[in-house]
Structure 1
């Protein structure tokens, strides 16, 4: 009856696997498409961020979300960030704890929703302590935005060289005396 000792190990392993608690299923990567309103969309994106490795903690109060026109966004952006260039699609004001999304913005466009996710990362970063410079927050936010879009087979249009340079907090426009 040597059969039982040989089968004992595999049977024990199988029983251990069967008794392990089931892992929570990965959230539906397209659930955001059926969000009935902005609050529900923010909740879904916050849930996705919560599930990411090394995620910063969710803030107790969600940010206010506002849609604004491009001229207002440009004036706000130049006051907050002097170094950023390119088409502005969203920004986060840490003092007002407000995400500004720039028209045209659609809750049905994954790239626009990716911008919202990026700004939600900044909201979390705002509560997570000191950053050497505002640009240091950009690389982690863009990486999470990229991961979210890649979950749908999409790739963000990001100038990674500019993002890495901005994240380095290097002084700009230095001239010798």
Structure 2
């Protein structure tokens, strides 16, 4: 896993100007229930503290939507679902997305809102998929309009 993280950090640095920080996050493989627990406890904690929450990749807004991964800023941990193998471009693209958040966090990059922080993550994920002739719409049912909504500040 460490070698894969190093390759992705280097690729993100070259292609997106993100800092090449090789202080890798922890990576944990967890159940869907644990992933939901991490996401919702982080959202609740951030609301109480009055700070923007990192919603995580594909954080569901309604029942039935999958959470594919989550990055937790405080613990510097990427949570991937049990069964994640990294054998497909789509699976690795999820790691790419969350690694963007790790680099943003460690480099203390600032954004106008948590949604704006998602823009580079989706761009990197989309470009990773393009390397394999794949796209977000086919792999995750995320079209361009959805990305636009998920990556723009609504205040």
TM-score by length of 2: 0.77
Residue 43 of structure 1 deviates from its aligned partner by 1.2
Is the 2:6–2:22 Cα contact (8 Å) retained in structure 1?
Answer: no
Is the 1:56–1:128 Cα contact (8 Å) retained in structure 2?
Answer: no
Paired with 1:81 and 1:162, the residues of 2 have a C-alpha distance of: 21
Residue 134 of structure 1 deviates from its aligned partner by 1.7
Moved over 4 A (4+): none
Tell me how large the CA RMSD over aligned residues is.
1.9
Counterpart position of 1:121: 100
Q: How many residues align?
A: 133
Residue 135 of structure 1 deviates from its aligned partner by 1.7
Counterpart position of 2:2: 39
Match of 1:77 among 39, 42, 63: 39
Counterpart position of 2:147: 163
Residue pairs, 1:143-162, within 5 angstroms: 143-156=123-136, 157=140, 158-162=142-146
With a CA cutoff of 8 Å and minimum separation of 6, indicate the structure with the bigger relative contact order: 2
Paired with 1:134 and 1:155, the residues of 2 have a C-alpha distance of: 23
Counterpart position of 1:105: 84
Counterpart position of 2:20: 58
TM-score by length of 1: 0.68
Distance 1:80 1:133, change over 3 A: farther
Paired with 1:79 and 1:140, the residues of 2 have a C-alpha distance of: 24
Aligned with 2:97: secondary structure? helix
Distance 1:87 1:110, change over 3 A: same
Match of 1:87 among 35, 44, 66: 66
